[in-house]
Amino acid sequence: MRALAKPNVGISKCLGFDNCRWNGAVIPDEFVESLKPHVSYKPVCPELEIGLGVPRDPIRIVDTSEGPRLVQPATGKDVSEKMRRFTETFLSSLVDVDGFILKFRSPSCGMKGVKIYAGPEKGTASILGPGFFGGAVLEKFPGWAIEEEGRLRNFRLREHFLTKLFLMADFRKIQSSGAMRELIQFQAQNKLLLMAYNQKELRNLGRLVANLEKRPVAEILEDYEKHLACALARPPRYLSNINVLMHALGFFSKELSAKEKAFFLDALERYRNEKVPFSVPLNLTRAWVVRFEQEYLGQQTFFDPYPEALLEISDSGKGRKL
């Protein structure tokens, strides 16, 4: 198995790192714990950082004529500007972060689905939107590996998150080296993965790497990062996964028997019809890569985009087919 870069992950501190919830609680999370050996976490609690303390009266987002405000109804405090200043300073200090795991529906850390109220008094939420900190993360790092811990219980979303996270960490190493030859190798090793994600962006990335205009490497890397984020914007469709495995099958066309090919094609059809998970035809192909010592496919990140140990987490059974 290839050596994987160790991603740096910003994370809400209440997710197993500190008793910093408004009521003094900590929220243990199985996935966050499982990921610890494979990443470097950078925990943060925005509410604690702006001096709200623990325990504290809850805060909420209120919709006003001047836009969303972050208020503490019990005290009447408006901490919107404090939160914005902290968020801008903190995010600007992160020069090597590869992704984020944020607290689901938190008025500070939530990405989406955060309740936004018509006023500070008790009542039902009128609309939903991002939290103050979480929304700023999405704006500053568009297309990066950013998710809420609640959504990461879904296998499909978790797989997409991990793939993006480890790919962006690998790319950060390329950026640090500034070497065109390493970018060329990165593009080659990720060809099948990018083919599954977005063929249009794969072609755009290929043109950047070809660099027929002889542009400076720094410019190429800057544009490459933008197109890479676009390529990874959404999970691959199931038909794209099938197309990539059919492409890989061509590498073994002379070695496999008719029965083996038929068995594989049946597995692909069962995956297409949601009878088996993608791991079934994928692992058949991986076995052939090893059996026939197929060097090119053996270097493709499509077959091991993140540490295999993370596959042991149970599948929620939802959201597989796209």
Q: What is the pLDDT of residues 98-151, one digit of tens each?
A: 999 999 999 999 999 999 998 888 777 778 999 999 999 999 998 899 999 999
- What average pLDDT does the segment 258-280 reach? 95
Mean pLDDT computed over every residue of the chain: 93
- What average pLDDT does the segment 212-224 reach? 95
Last residue of a domain, one of 124, 153, 182: 153
Last residue of a domain, one of 130, 153, 176: 153
User: What pTM did the predictor assign?
Assistant: 0.91
Q: For residue 3, is it within any domain?
A: no
Do 92 and 210 belong together in one domain? no
Number of residues assigned to the chain: 322
The pLDDT score that the predictor gives to residue 123 is 76
Q: For residue 139, is it within any domain?
A: yes
Q: What is the pLDDT of residues 158-177, one digit of tens each?
A: 999 999 999 999 999 999 99
Do 175 and 322 belong together in one domain? yes
In angstroms, the CA 107 to CA 71 distance is 10
Do 261 and 272 belong together in one domain? yes
Q: At 169, is the secondary structure helix, strand, or coil?
A: helix
Last residue of a domain, one of 110, 127, 153: 153
Domain containing residue 30? 8-153
* Residue 293 Ramachandran class (φ > 0 left, ψ -120 to 50 alpha, else beta): left
Q: What is the pLDDT of residues 2-22, one digit of tens each?
A: 789 999 999 999 999 999 999
Do 17 and 87 belong together in one domain? yes
In angstroms, the CA 29 to CA 24 distance is 16
Local confidence band at 321 (pLDDT 50, 70, 90 cut-offs): low
Do 118 and 172 belong together in one domain? no
On the question of pLDDT at 179 being above 90, the answer is: yes
Do 72 and 127 belong together in one domain? yes
On the question of pLDDT at 266 being above 90, the answer is: yes
